[in-house]
């Protein structure tokens, strides 16, 4: 049923994206626009027959059958862990060492491949039990220290694969020197008789080549630079992509694109093909070729589900072109596509490696909704902004504790959907939308959830991190919005109290220089003095009215027409928030000067 519903909605999604792309002044010259969100797939690989027969021990036969069942989704990884616990009760022999190495390799590989069953705590427990069984006092040692006391006869291919898989799952514990050495360990039957399920999953007949890829992947995860010595194979394609990604992150966009073009699609599953298109599109944007980039990004989205967030980059292109309608429609499509996509666990080596290097945050749809709401507010689409901010706040209040930040990414920071601003900042933006739409009661209702902040920066404001400055400006804006809402519903006394509280909170402000933060503080003071002047007039306090009217004029005189901040060093979400707050204050001041 879910698949039928998704297919029934394809027509409307195609229309939305087609309208967005057609709005590009007719410059979208080729390519077929298709629905976003097709399920990711990987290129099926032919089965391999090992050169020699498999070991016939009952333990290994059962282990390999169980591994295949996990890959087929008919068994859970926890059954492998239970199987390991039973194995750890047997006696210690050299053959038992190699069997248990394959057991740990199986658990580690499937933990990487079947991400929906990934539980690193369970894996840690198995590793502790494994090393504690073979190495005395291993429980009190760090992982790199354990490797220093491993016996020579244990240094086999299976143990090398174990270490390399461990380094990909736990890169912070990896010792690259030991990993390099482990590539020379070629003894044991695991090299000659690797499991059939592993050969099929990696599309490779030589386990040493798999180890080579795992080594390069571990190096990248550890922040090391890799070289480009890769064959034109399934394994080599993944290595080339990791190399191209390093070039992209270093800003060598032309070289990155050339490397990506050299990867044969015949050796790539759908996920890797999608990522190649995505990264190519991003590189083209950096080189100023936005129209060609649109084609690549759309193709990436169509190719695999993991590339759905590339729709954000399409929206950015439309924004840069000034195509606001296309931008908003594209952001709406991204939000819907993120909410509707199915959970997908990669079952092949390429997809598994890609997932290790790019772990998207769990709140991508909320981030997109925040950007969409903020852009609607910035474009004075108040009703639409209110609707979206209301939905966002409801979701945040229910699920705020599960927000997860992206820990690893294949993207540059500016190419990712930015993190959400602070919850209080979103409250203020929602309140600005309400007050701008003449909904004073609703603005007050939203701000009732705002946690009061007595400290609005103090003398150390200008030396504080940007996040602290944003928090201070946001809190000050909350006072102003609340005061305006109270004034509009006739509660002048409480409105005056809000303004007096804010004036006391920013009493530390002294001279004004020329930074963006100075300009914002100056505008804040101008807006505050204007409100105090108006409120004192309503209260018939003529002396106070004249005082604050004079202060308003003095601050207005210092404000330059062309000194609006750009906030170029902030993320998109925070930049939008600061622009909205700045515009809210400036519009009220400008209206008074007319």
Q: Which residue has the higher pLDDT, 575 or 36?
A: 575
Instruction: Examine the pLDDT at 468 and tell me if it is beyond 50.
Output: yes
Same topology between domain 2-43+233-357 and domain 364-593: yes
Instruction: Examine the pLDDT at 29 and tell me if it is beyond 50.
Output: no
What are 343-391's pLDDT values in tens digits?
555 568 899 999 999 988 889 999 999 999 999 999 999 999 999 999 9
Q: Two tokens at 103? A: 């057991």
Instruction: Examine the pLDDT at 38 and tell me if it is beyond 60.
Output: no
The CA-based angle 362-367-371, given to 5 degrees, is 170
Three-class SS state of 421: coil
Mean pLDDT of the chain: 85
Whole-angstrom CA distances from 199 to 190, 207, 593 are 12, 8, 75
pLDDT of residue 513: 57
Instruction: Examine the pLDDT at 32 and tell me if it is beyond 60.
Output: no
Sorted by where each begins, the domain ranges of the chain are 2-43+233-357, 58-192, 364-593
505 neighbors 476 (Cβ within 8 angstroms):
yes
User: How many Cβ atoms are within 10 Å of 404's Cβ, its own excluded?
Assistant: 10
Instruction: Examine the pLDDT at 47 and tell me if it is beyond 70.
Output: no
pLDDT of residue 546: 95
- The distance of Cα 480 from the centroid of its chain, to the nearest Å, equals 33
Length of the chain: 594
First to last CA, the chain: 60
Second CATH level (architecture) for the domain 2-43+233-357: Alpha Horseshoe (1.25)
Instruction: Examine the pLDDT at 24 and tell me if it is beyond 60.
Output: no
The pLDDT confidence band at residue 4, using thresholds 50, 70 and 90, is: very low
The residue whose two tokens read 């991204």 is 334
pLDDT of residue 41: 36
What are 168-198's pLDDT values in tens digits?
999 988 888 889 999 999 988 888 888 989 9
pLDDT of residue 30: 34
- DSSP H or E segment with residue 278: helix 270-286
Q: d(Cα 545, Cα 23) in Å, to the nearest integer?
A: 51
Instruction: Examine the pLDDT at 3 and tell me if it is beyond 50.
Output: no
What are 390-423's pLDDT values in tens digits?
999 999 988 755 455 556 899 999 999 999 999 9
Q: d(Cα 514, Cα 248) in Å, to the nearest integer?
A: 36
Share of the chain above pLDDT 90, in %: 58
383 neighbors 438 (Cβ within 8 angstroms):
no
Q: d(Cα 475, Cα 461) in Å, to the nearest integer?
A: 13
Q: d(Cα 82, Cα 541) in Å, to the nearest integer?
A: 80
pLDDT of residue 56: 62
Task: Pick 364-593's CATH classification: 1.20.1090.10, 3.30.300.210, 1.25.40.10, 3.40.50.300.
Answer: 1.25.40.10
What are 118-129's pLDDT values in tens digits?
889 999 999 999
Overall average pLDDT of the 513-517 stretch: 70
pLDDT of residue 116: 82
pLDDT of residue 398: 84
Q: Which residue has the higher pLDDT, 331 or 36?
A: 331
Q: Which residue has the higher pLDDT, 503 or 13?
A: 503
pTM of the model: 0.85
Q: Which residues contact 334 (CB under 8 A, 6 or more apart)?
A: 36, 308, 309, 311, 312, 315, 368
Q: Which residue has the higher pLDDT, 402 or 206?
A: 206
- DSSP H or E segment with residue 311: helix 310-320
pLDDT of residue 312: 98
The residue whose two tokens read 């080729």 is 30
Instruction: Examine the pLDDT at 53 and tell me if it is beyond 60.
Output: no
pLDDT of residue 250: 94
- Closest to 368 in 3D by CA, of 388, 383, 387: 388
291 neighbors 318 (Cβ within 8 angstroms):
no
Q: d(Cα 349, Cα 370) in Å, to the nearest integer?
A: 35
The pLDDT confidence band at residue 23, using thresholds 50, 70 and 90, is: very low
What DSSP letter does each residue of 379-399 carry, written as one string? Answer: TT-HHHHHHHHHHHHHHHHHH
Whole-angstrom CA distances from 464 to 58, 444, 459, 461, 574 are 65, 29, 10, 5, 16
Q: Which residue has the higher pLDDT, 396 or 451?
A: 396
pLDDT of residue 451: 80
pLDDT of residue 68: 92
Q: d(Cα 183, Cα 253) in Å, to the nearest integer?
A: 32
Instruction: Examine the pLDDT at 52 and tell me if it is beyond 90.
Output: no
pLDDT of residue 230: 74
């Amino acid at each position: 049923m879910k698949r039928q519903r998704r297919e029934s909605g394809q027509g409307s999604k195609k229309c939305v994206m087609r309208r967005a792309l057609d709005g590009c002044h007719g410059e979208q010259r080729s390519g077929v626009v298709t629905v976003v969100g097709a399920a990711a797939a990987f290129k099926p690989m032919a089965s391999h027959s090992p050169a020699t027969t498999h070991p016939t021990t009952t333990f290994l036969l059962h282990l390999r059958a169980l591994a295949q069942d996990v890959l087929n989704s008919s068994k859970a990884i926890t059954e492998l862990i239970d199987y390991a616990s039973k194995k750890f009760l047997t006696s210690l022999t050299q053959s038992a060492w190699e069997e248990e190495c394959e057991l740990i390799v199986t658990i580690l590989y499937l933990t990487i491949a079947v991400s929906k069953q990934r539980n690193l705590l369970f894996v840690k427990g198995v590793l502790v039990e494994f090393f504690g069984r073979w190495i005395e006092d291993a429980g009190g040692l760090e992982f790199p220290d354990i490797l220093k006391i491993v016996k020579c006869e244990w240094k086999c291919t299976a143990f090398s694969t174990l270490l390399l898989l461990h380094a990909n799952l736990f890169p912070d514990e990896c010792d690259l020197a030991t990993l390099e050495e482990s590539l020379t360990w070629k003894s044991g039957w695991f090299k000659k008789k690797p499991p059939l399920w592993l050969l099929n999953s990696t599309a490779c007949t030589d386990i040493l080549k798999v180890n080579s890829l795992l080594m390069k992947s571990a190096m990248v995860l550890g922040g090391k630079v890799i070289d480009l010595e890769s064959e034109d194979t399934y394994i080599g394609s993944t290595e080339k992509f990791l190399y191209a990604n390093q070039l992209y992150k270093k800003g060598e966009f032309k070289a990155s694109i050339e490397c990506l073009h050299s990867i044969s699609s015949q050796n790539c599953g759908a996920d890797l093909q999608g990522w190649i298109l995505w990264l190519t599109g991003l590189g083209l944007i950096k080189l100023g070729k936005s129209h060609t980039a649109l084609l690549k990004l759309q193709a990436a989205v169509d190719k695999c589900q993991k590339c759905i967030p590339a729709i954000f980059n399409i929206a950015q292109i439309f924004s840069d072109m000034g195509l606001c309608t296309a931008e908003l429609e594209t952001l709406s499509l991204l939000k819907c596509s993120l909410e509707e996509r199915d959970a997908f666990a990669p079952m092949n080596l390429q997809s598994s490696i890609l997932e290790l290097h790019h772990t998207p945050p769990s709140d991508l749809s909320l981030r997109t909704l925040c950007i969409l709401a903020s852009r609607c507010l910035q474009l004075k689409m108040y009703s639409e902004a209110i609707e979206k901010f209301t939905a966002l706040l409801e979701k945040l209040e229910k699920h705020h504790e599960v927000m997860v930040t992206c820990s690893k990414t294949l993207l540059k920071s500016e190419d990712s959907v930015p993190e959400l601003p602070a919850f209080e900042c979103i409250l203020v933006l929602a309140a600005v939308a309400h007050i701008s739409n003449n909904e004073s009661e609703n603005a007050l209702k939203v701000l009732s959830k705002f946690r009061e902040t007595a400290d609005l920066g103090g003398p150390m404001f200008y030396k504080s991190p940007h996040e602290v400055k944003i928090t201070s400006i946001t809190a000050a804006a909350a006072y102003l919005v609340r005061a305006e809402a109270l004034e509009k519903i006739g509660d002048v006394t409480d409105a005056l109290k809000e303004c007096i509280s804010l004036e006391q909170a920013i009493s530390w402000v002294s001279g004004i220089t020329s930074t963006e933060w100075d300009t914002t503080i100056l505008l804040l003071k101008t807006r505050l003095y204007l409100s105090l002047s108006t409120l004192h007039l309503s209260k018939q306090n003529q002396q106070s009215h004249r005082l604050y009217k004079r202060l308003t004029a003095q601050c207005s005189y210092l404000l330059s027409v062309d000194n609006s901040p750009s906030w170029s060093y902030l993320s998109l979400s925070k930049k939008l928030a600061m622009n909205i707050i700045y515009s809210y204050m400036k519009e009220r001041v400008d209206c008074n000067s007319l």
